[in-house]
Amino acid sequence: MADNLFQGKLMAHVKALDPAWRSAFEAEPVRQTLHELDRFLQDRLDAGTVIFPARPFRALHEVAPRDVKVVLLGQDPYHGPGQAQGLAFSVPDDCRAPPSLRNMFTELKREYADQYQAQRNSLVRWATQGVLLLNTALTVEAHQAGSHARCGWTTVTDAILTRVLQEAQPKVLMLWGSHAQAREALLKEHPPQGPVHVLKANHPSPLSALRPPRPFIGCGHFAMANRWLEAEGVGGIDWLSNDEPPLRAASA
């Protein structure tokens, strides 16, 4: 059995977060939603449902709000055994790269043809450099894509994005696909405290990566993000690094 199974007790995962992230959940509607999600997830587990990942808030353990340079927004975790890590688009190195991740590497190779090397499938190295790899739903049932997309997670992840917007550091929002692009409305609802650059393209899924109106393949987003960050006086992301980041203790 896969070792990335969610074991329950969602509120324990929340309490294990850094206070800077927990502050995102202070509003009563968000706290209430988290408790409702806790009960919902426990009911599903009691019914024998397999849920991924083991650490729904993993993305928040890898980068502090003040250090976020890029937000890369996904939809929901991978729903196969051993895949989901709690980081959008990322899978363990010993897991075969899903199609969307392969297309991301294809785009990296196109943008950095002279420097490209075979990439590891785990994107923890991006997260520790300041890339918030956040899905809009943080849990999923086995083999049921989108199964928790309407269970309240959007309230929670919108609160996380709003917390990021409160930081003055310049940041890039990579919004791939209509689902992610719908979150752009948060910029009007919660005006950011620092410069924000929005990059939009189709989702890297094979179903849309080459299609209009904004094909993902050829979008140039990785290099564009770095150029903008550097112009704002912030170091870019080493997208091609395969270095193993320092191990972080699993708090929950």
Predicted model pTM: 0.94
pLDDT band for position 7 (cuts 50, 70, 90): very high
pLDDT of residue 1: 42
pLDDT of residue 250: 52
The pLDDT of residue 46 is above 50: yes
Over residues 23-52, mean pLDDT = 97
**Known catalytic membership, residue 76:** yes
pLDDT of residue 248: 56
- Per cent of the chain over pLDDT 70 is 96
Cis peptide before 53 (omega within 30 of 0): yes
**Model pLDDT for residues 160-198, shown as the tens digit of each residue:** 999 999 999 999 999 999 989 999 999 999 999 999 999
Over residues 193-214, mean pLDDT = 94
Cβ atoms of 130 and 68 within 8 Å: the answer is: yes
User: 33-53: string of b/e by CB count within 10 Å (b at 16+)?
Assistant: bbeebbeebeebbeeeebbbb
Measure the CA–CA gap between 153 and 48, rounded to whole angstroms.
21
Which residue is catalytic, options 38, 43, 46, 76? Answer: 76
Report which residue type is found at 151.
Answer: C
SS3 assignment, position 72: strand
pLDDT of residue 174: 97
Provide the residue count of the chain: 252
